[in-house]
Chains A and B, each alone.
Chain A
Amino acid sequence: MCDFSARLVAWMDGELATNEAASVEQHVRACEHCRERVSAYEEVSRGFAAYYTATTQTAIAAKTPRKLPRFVPVLAAAAAALLLLLALLPRTVKPVPAPPQVAVVHPPIALEPAAKPLKPVQRRHVAAHRKASNQDWAMAGPAIQIAIPADAMFPPGAVPEGITYIANLSLTDGSVQGIRLQP
């Protein structure tokens, strides 16, 4: 056993300091046993490199299928069953009727005490050919009167102060049939 035998691999790998590497090299030139050892270590190193490259290359090339988490098939089956159930269920839910459209009149200024409170009324389609005349108006159903101060409708100075208009709303079957303003 030579003194340098413990540093032969490091010397092969160029890992020794310059002075130490020179000493080992000088010894290896003179020692046949160490030359054989160096040759054997080089052969083993090449064999390991070939083995390492071959085994890892085949391992990298072999594509392994990605495993799904265990809960994924369960969730997929549950989702499919739910969709099937929804598709097979009869449509028993009745559509909710839309709320009737209500016209609300907001008086711009406080009403006079004599005025009746405005009730929300249902709006109906009014035939285009129907024209409200004074006679029709008189023939109409119960009327609602709303007092509207003039300065709420006209610019200041357009009408004398203190004038209040009365809006007559004639109702037929609960719907507004006509509006007339009287000073």
Chain B
Amino acid sequence: MSGDSFPLNLPLPRFATDSCEATTLYRELRKPLLRYLAGLGLSADEAQDVVQDAFLSLHKHLAADGSQENIRSWLFRVAHNAARNCQQSYTRRMGEPIGPVFDAISHEATPEQAVLAEEKFRRLDTAIRALGAQERECLMLRAEGLRYREIGEVLGIPTSTVADTVERAIKKLAEKCNV
């Protein structure tokens, strides 16, 4: 028997590879997921919990030889569905004042420019609040760089519906902002 070798079909190599992939994905997608969940109205702690649960589900998914295609949209979909379960806080953020937000991002040189920029920002804020939930979700996922096909996978709607929704939402914003 000496000299004979047996192939070892241990799950360790694949498991380690998947763990590395999951770690890389965590670094790349943690913040976008947190932003999206905050945009849906979750608090910082709720968003952190949902993201951790989503990556835990991903770890189990990969360990169980689940499909590795479209992992980004898979994670967003898991997070989106978890956020849907937090219905009480789902639209909470939309009622909050935007003054501190504008102060944080305003870098205008003169007071006049700052006033104009704030007025523009308030119009945009009003227009965004007037959008439907699906329109806002499509725009947020689009702002995160997801393709229409991926947005459709996250929200569970056809790609053609995503295209129509994005087109309609952008036109609404342009109209209400007088652009």
Q: Which residues of A contact B (CB under 8 A)?
A: 6-10, 13, 15, 37, 40-41, 43-45, 47-64, 66
In whole Å, how far is A130's beta carbon from the nearest beta carbon of chain B? 75
Tell me whether chain B's interface is mostly helix, strand or loop, or mixed. Answer: helix
A40 and B105 within 8 A (CB)? no
In whole Å, how far is A50's beta carbon from the nearest beta carbon of chain B? 7
In whole Å, how far is B98's beta carbon from the nearest beta carbon of chain A? 7
Report how far A78 CA is from B120 CA in the complex, Å: 56
B45 and A48 within 8 A (CB)? no
In whole Å, how far is B145's beta carbon from the nearest beta carbon of chain A? 10
What string of 1s and 0s marks CB contacts (under 8 Å) between B91-105 and chain A? 001000010111011
Q: Contacting A10 at CB < 8 Å: which of B47, B93, B143, B166?
A: B166
Report how far A46 CA is from B23 CA in the complex, Å: 30
| Stretch of B8-16, B34-42, B60-68, B69-77 contacting A (4+ beta carbons < 8 Å) | B34-42
Contacting residues of chain B (17-58) with chain A, CB-CB under 8 angstroms: 34-36, 38-39, 43-45, 47
B90 within 8 A of A: no
In the A-B complex, the 9 residue pairs with the smallest Cβ-Cβ separation, listed nearest first, are A59-B38, A56-B38, A56-B35, A40-B179, A54-B105, A49-B143, A9-B167, A44-B173, A44-B174
Contacting residues of chain B (142-179) with chain A, CB-CB under 8 angstroms: 142-143, 147-148, 163, 166-167, 170-171, 173-174, 177, 179
Tell me whether chain A's interface is mostly helix, strand or loop, or mixed. Answer: helix
What A residues does B104 contact at CB under 8 A? 54, 57-58
B83 within 8 A of A: no
In whole Å, how far is A68's beta carbon from the nearest beta carbon of chain B? 13
In whole Å, how far is A5's beta carbon from the nearest beta carbon of chain B? 9
Q: Contacting A51 at CB < 8 Å: which of B100, B121, B174?
A: B121
B173 and A10 within 8 A (CB)? no
B140 within 8 A of A: yes
A sample of 24 inter-chain contacts (CB < 8 A) reads: A9-B166, A13-B142, A37-B174, A43-B179, A44-B173, A44-B179, A45-B170, A47-B121, A47-B124, A47-B177, A48-B143, A51-B124, A53-B143, A54-B102, A55-B101, A56-B34, A56-B36, A56-B38, A58-B100, A58-B104, A59-B39, A59-B44, A60-B34, A60-B35
A64 and B174 within 8 A (CB)? no
B79 within 8 A of A: no
In whole Å, how far is A32's beta carbon from the nearest beta carbon of chain B? 16
> Chain B residue with minimal CB distance to A63?
B44
> Chain A residue with minimal CB distance to B105?
A54
What A residues does B128 contact at CB under 8 A? 48, 51
Report how far A50 CA is from B179 CA in the complex, Å: 16
Report how far A88 CA is from B120 CA in the complex, Å: 68
Q: Contacting B174 at CB < 8 Å: which of A13, A40, A56?
A: A40
B125 within 8 A of A: yes
Report how far A37 CA is from B174 CA in the complex, Å: 9
A48 and B139 within 8 A (CB)? yes
> Chain B residue with minimal CB distance to A12?
B170
What B residues does A40 contact at CB under 8 A? 174, 179
